[in-house]
Structure 1
């Protein structure tokens, strides 16, 4: 198999060397240092740290709410991308620009705004309280905050793919007798699925490590609404650096185990 050399940036060896150096300095060395620092503990001590009920509860909450938020955005983001690409309407550019607001807002500002809205004294919180539903300081509030923060990942990933699918393809499927569901299942879904998986993976990964927008609306009750990033900060405040890095290693390993199959599936579908 021969390598394809890019005519734009010459010097494969030089560019590859720079890539590996920057990747090592920015990603591999810091992550390696975290593993080295955690290795100061024996396996029994490491297991004692990561198997503590408080850590397991935070792990379940962080990954569970991130998964729920990514799934919600998988549906909502697909609909938003579809409407923004397929239907011209007044104010479309304004709505399209608003999609990027979670990127522009400081996460702490987003967290304060969401808390003010969903807290028992907030407008939405009061309305939900009349139906016996509590949003703020519950896992539901955390999932909503993560949904707000991670929405742009799905929308911005799907938009260019939808824009590249000609309308004539759907019209041709309809002319051949395909129902709307059949046209979506056999024509649109194969083209959208790789991008959808990418957007879902990005949203899930961002939700796992989100901190600023969550700590205000979570309430931070140990064992109930305490997320892993906050627990790491608690360990750091207690000068328990080894414990903090141990939880970080756990978080990294679990995220890698969950995201690797997703990336492999996305690549396999894209090759077909």
Structure 2
């Protein structure tokens, strides 16, 4: 007696485009180790071998201290300016529809694609005493190029996209319902902004500030052209690392580079801890 073959009811196995978890993880960690972790480990190892005497000699140099003050101070001020301006740009892009909106949205990412040296040359040409904007500032006693003001402007230019792109997605998901509810209850615009909008945007604002600060701290190309690179006045720490290498002062360059690496790593750690802290706070409020 012949039997009728039934079609197989088993699910076809889904073929992943990449191999299994173990192999994929191994390949990813190998590339990460070779490209990122190995150079950083080499720098950390060399910095640890300097000893306390080498660190004190390198960091007690007045020129190094002045360069660190310029880098950290300008990065902090520029991150604040980029945060405020970026939040406004993100608000306009999300809440309003106007001709040229897509062009403005695309221009926000221009500093990502533009070589930093090109940005520095362009900013220097614009704000120079004979530039498009500098020619109107110079007669009024306002000098931008070769001053700390020029450094801040260059750092705001490269840090603005981070502030915009971290705030913009939160505004898109926030919607208008909460604001309309607050307005229907008689809340003013300022009260709505302070009690409704800002609490939702605060994690994104802090993240954008940290990203802009970390990016500005290690910026080199867009700053050296507009800063003038005057020792003790407008010389930044990344440039001083290059100068120390040209002077064959490898220990001084390693100590300064390791310090900048630690500061950048701390910023990235804070960026990753911010969402966890706010998530824990919201869970505590909900459970309480």
- Range with bigger deviation, 180-189 or 22-31: 22-31
Q: Structure 1 CA distance, aligned partners of 2:135 and 2:239?
A: 27
Q: How many residues align?
A: 266
Deviation at 1:112, TM superposition (A): 0.3
Q: 5+ unaligned residues in a row in structure 2: which ranges?
A: 1-15, 283-288
Distance 1:86 1:124, change over 3 A: same
Q: Structure 1 CA distance, aligned partners of 2:103 and 2:204?
A: 24
Q: Structure 2 CA distance, aligned partners of 1:270 and 1:152?
A: 25
- Are the equivalent residues in 2 in contact too, given 1:50–1:250 (CA < 8 A)? no
The CA RMSD over aligned residues, in Å, is: 2.1
Q: 5+ unaligned residues in a row in structure 1: which ranges?
A: 1-7
Distance 1:158 1:109, change over 3 A: same
- Range with bigger deviation, 233-242 or 213-222: 233-242
- Are the equivalent residues in 2 in contact too, given 1:59–1:251 (CA < 8 A)? no
**Aligned pair partner of 1:238 in 235, 247, 263:** 247
**Aligned pair partner of 1:172 in 159, 162, 181:** 181
- Are the equivalent residues in 2 in contact too, given 1:194–1:270 (CA < 8 A)? no
Distance 1:27 1:52, change over 3 A: same
Residue in 2 that maps onto 1:4: none
- Range with bigger deviation, 178-187 or 144-153: 178-187
Distance 1:16 1:194, change over 3 A: farther
Using the size of structure 1 for normalisation, the TM-score is 0.90
Distance 1:270 1:121, change over 3 A: farther
- Are the equivalent residues in 2 in contact too, given 1:150–1:203 (CA < 8 A)? yes
Distance 1:101 1:173, change over 3 A: same
Q: Structure 2 CA distance, aligned partners of 1:22 and 1:170?
A: 47
Deviations, residues 203-241 of structure 1 (Å, cap 9, x unaligned): 111100010000000001111100011011111222333
Q: Structure 2 CA distance, aligned partners of 1:198 and 1:10?
A: 34
Deviation at 1:122, TM superposition (A): 1.6
Residue in 1 that maps onto 2:148: 139
Deviation at 1:29, TM superposition (A): 2.1
Please say if 1:59 is aligned against 2:74.
Answer: no
Using the size of structure 2 for normalisation, the TM-score is 0.85
Deviation at 1:42, TM superposition (A): 2.9
Q: Structure 2 CA distance, aligned partners of 1:169 and 1:64?
A: 38
- Range with bigger deviation, 213-222 or 178-187: 178-187
Larger radius of gyration: 2
